[in-house]
Structure 1
């Protein structure tokens, strides 16, 4: 199974429970709000109305925080003003297979994988073209607080939509600053090219930052591919080359060096892995990684122990092969024939 630098998981909120399924475009009602259950239908409506897409990735019958978000926010009457700004789409990943058709589940899972859903609940804001620009999930505080939270997330996007002339450059920089480098490469190339044209001298300082983010995304892909192929020397080269070219500091340097740690773990070399981890902690002593260093080492030890036990069990289950006959035994057998 491929090991990834970026953890990848999938599932989140509420759906059709008591109503049953009537087709891909069926809607459910929550606090008088209409939630579409098909992403493409949501995109179409967003394009027609000029609104933003709010897509709720939910596990309606198993995800505790999804259920809480629906109960505390989405199903509350005070949340109804959300419909003035957003087209609402709910994509469910229930354990009960009767709550959703195989076709719709396939669509939901494909979209979740495409945009990198890593947990549930995940609430993603998209433009009318279906490009994600903000991510959130469960938030405490009820419907009013959640509406304010959504408004804050949408500010850079809304500012860009109305920006013209000299204000366009700053609006582009402000918006792209909120988008991960990988998503810029995948979804916002036009906006990036426009910023390059408007800011050829990189007065905003953002172009260099985004180029580094783009390089980081390419680095992660290379490391993932080489780890999957078992080409550990190539992973070490990936890491060393990136460090030499970009010289990231702090937590970013820790992130890059994790590639080497993963190689050492795969090779079963805890001495090298732990030495690398100790070195990494010094680059950002206050980071979450550094604070959890002991737990990371413990997890590695447990992982390797479990792997060793599984390998022993697998060997024990192999059929015992009869030993090869000796030269003398072969000669004796030949004489008897």
Structure 2
């Protein structure tokens, strides 16, 4: 090979090789990472990041991931996976972009950075994000979270020794202790959910009802977001009212849906309906964190209503 051809080939190879924000030691191949974790008996540390726009992601890389104490502290415990969602899409291959988007949905990731610790099967057992204090502190934090895997496995093993409702409640407690999104639990712990159903066919624990309700709410949100992108406010309002009246939702889900109705009505300029919906949302659970924000929303809507009435009077 001629010298200029050699440098051209080397340059192309460099451009095609992924550059990881955290430096060397990371991979973007999720399937390969799971296999490596299984072979080396390690856990996965999966970083969902926006490398060229997310301020906290950049801080996490600069303050923690790029430093030797972090690399040394995790090398024997974790396989490191970076799933990037950059604004500059040219940084990623089409295959990587498709993989990352699928995994973002599968693991219900809504903010960045999201750090999920997973076993070799890709089942999360802990969730975190940016932590101040530098690499040593972060490694200590990860070690504490890593203990959640041992507790999970011990809890599952103990539950297997129980029967009926007691077994179901023990499995539910093990899942709840991890603090994972219900959509992630359904997707990644389907065998455990099935075991709960079998052990508690009457659903005395209420777990299955909660899981199914949250799944329906997630589907409702997906449909609502699709309508919002097309500015179909009337269709969005009809969908929301149908969801509220379906009887499928209660508690937090019902409160959220009713509050969403108020926001849609406000966008449509029906401020009285918006205020009535917010009052109804607050009544669902007056002591909830969401209810504590209702008065702020109502103040804003009343301001919008007053401005509209003032404009009307001026035009007349």
TM-score (norm 1): 0.67
Out of 113, 125, 135, the position equivalent to 2:117 is 125
Alignment-derived partner of residue 275 in structure 2: 274
Out of 270, 283, 286, the position equivalent to 1:284 is 286
Alignment-derived partner of residue 243 in structure 2: 238
**Structure 2 SS opposite 1:139:** coil
Alignment-derived partner of residue 185 in structure 2: 184
The answer as to 2:102 corresponding to 1:101 is: no
Alpha-carbon distance in 1 for matches of 2:290, 2:243: 24
Alpha-carbon distance in 1 for matches of 2:288, 2:154: 40
Q: Given the superposition, is the C-alpha separation of residues 129 and 225 from structure 1 closer, same or farther in structure 2, using an over 3 Å criterion?
A: same
Alignment-derived partner of residue 265 in structure 2: 264
Alpha-carbon distance in 2 for matches of 1:27, 1:45: 20
Q: Given the superposition, is the C-alpha separation of residues 180 and 95 from structure 1 closer, same or farther in structure 2, using an over 3 Å criterion?
A: closer
Q: Which runs of 5+ in 1 are unaligned?
A: 1-18, 306-337
Out of 69, 78, 86, the position equivalent to 1:86 is 78
Which aligned pairs between 1:244-323 and structure 2 lie closer than 5 A?
247-248=250-251, 251-265=252-266, 267-281=268-282, 283-285=285-287, 287=289, 290-291=292-293, 293-295=295-297, 298=300
**Structure 1 SS opposite 2:74:** helix
Alpha-carbon distance in 2 for matches of 1:130, 1:73: 24
Q: Given the superposition, is the C-alpha separation of residues 196 and 107 from structure 1 closer, same or farther in structure 2, using an over 3 Å criterion?
A: closer
- Higher mean displacement: 181-190 or 61-70: 181-190
Q: Given the superposition, is the C-alpha separation of residues 92 and 232 from structure 1 closer, same or farther in structure 2, using an over 3 Å criterion?
A: closer
Q: Deviations over 1:304-329 (max 9, x none)?
A: x9xxxxxxxxxxxxxxxxxxxxxxxx
Alpha-carbon offset, residue 66 of structure 1:
0.9
Q: Which runs of 5+ in 2 are unaligned?
A: 1-12, 161-166, 308-316
Alignment-derived partner of residue 313 in structure 1: none
Alpha-carbon distance in 2 for matches of 1:247, 1:286: 13
**Structure 2 SS opposite 1:87:** strand
Computing the radius of gyration over CA atoms, which structure comes out larger, 1 or 2? 1
- Native 8 Å contact 2:271 2:301 kept in 1: no
Alignment-derived partner of residue 323 in structure 1: none
Alpha-carbon distance in 1 for matches of 2:303, 2:96: 41
Alpha-carbon distance in 1 for matches of 2:77, 2:272: 55
The answer as to 2:44 corresponding to 1:75 is: no
Q: Given the superposition, is the C-alpha separation of residues 234 and 200 from structure 1 closer, same or farther in structure 2, using an over 3 Å criterion?
A: closer
Alignment-derived partner of residue 14 in structure 1: none
- Higher mean displacement: 145-154 or 271-280: 145-154
Which aligned pairs between 1:197-208 and structure 2 lie closer than 5 A?
197=198, 207-208=205-206
User: Where is the helix percentage greater, Structure 1 or Structure 2?
Assistant: 2
Q: Given the superposition, is the C-alpha separation of residues 200 and 51 from structure 1 closer, same or farther in structure 2, using an over 3 Å criterion?
A: farther
Alpha-carbon distance in 2 for matches of 1:226, 1:94: 26
Q: Given the superposition, is the C-alpha separation of residues 174 and 279 from structure 1 closer, same or farther in structure 2, using an over 3 Å criterion?
A: same
Larger relative contact order, structure 1 or 2 (CA cutoff 8 Å, min sep 6) = 1
TM-score (norm 2): 0.70
Please report the RMSD computed on the Cα atoms of aligned residues, expressed in angstroms: 3.6
Alpha-carbon distance in 2 for matches of 1:151, 1:47: 19
Which aligned pairs between 1:16-165 and structure 2 lie closer than 5 A?
20-23=14-17, 34-79=25-70, 80-162=72-154
Q: Given the superposition, is the C-alpha separation of residues 190 and 301 from structure 1 closer, same or farther in structure 2, using an over 3 Å criterion?
A: farther
